[in-house]
Amino acid sequence: MYIEFIATTIEDALLIEKSGADRIELVCALTEGGLTPSYALIEAVVSSVSIPVNVMVRPHSQSFQYSPDDLSIMKNDIKIISSLGANGVVLGVLNEKNEINQIYLEELLTACEGLEITFHRAIDDTPDPVRAAEMLAQYPEITTILTSGGHGDFSTRMQTIHQMKKACGDISILVGSGLNKDNILSIHSELNTGYYHFGTAVRKNSSLIEGVQLDKAKEIVNMLKI
State yes or no: pLDDT of 226 exceeds 90. no
Statement: the pTM of the whole predicted model exceeds 0.95: yes
pLDDT in tens, 44-81: 999 999 999 999 999 999 999 999 999 999 999 999 99
Region 158-167 average pLDDT: 96
Do the strands 23-26 and 116-119 form a parallel or antiparallel pair, or are they unpaired?
Answer: unpaired
CB 103 within 8 A of CB 76: no
3 state SS of 94: strand
H-helix segments, 66-153: 68-83, 102-111, 129-136
Share of the chain above pLDDT 70, in %: 100
Position 121 confidence tier, pLDDT thresholds 50, 70, 90: very high
Does 2-224 carry CATH code 3.20.20.380? yes
Which is higher by pLDDT, 154 or 202? Answer: 202
Phi, psi of 82 (to 5 degrees): -65, -40
Phi, psi of 116 (to 5 degrees): -70, 145
Measured in whole angstroms, how far is the alpha carbon of residue 160 from the centre of its chain? 18
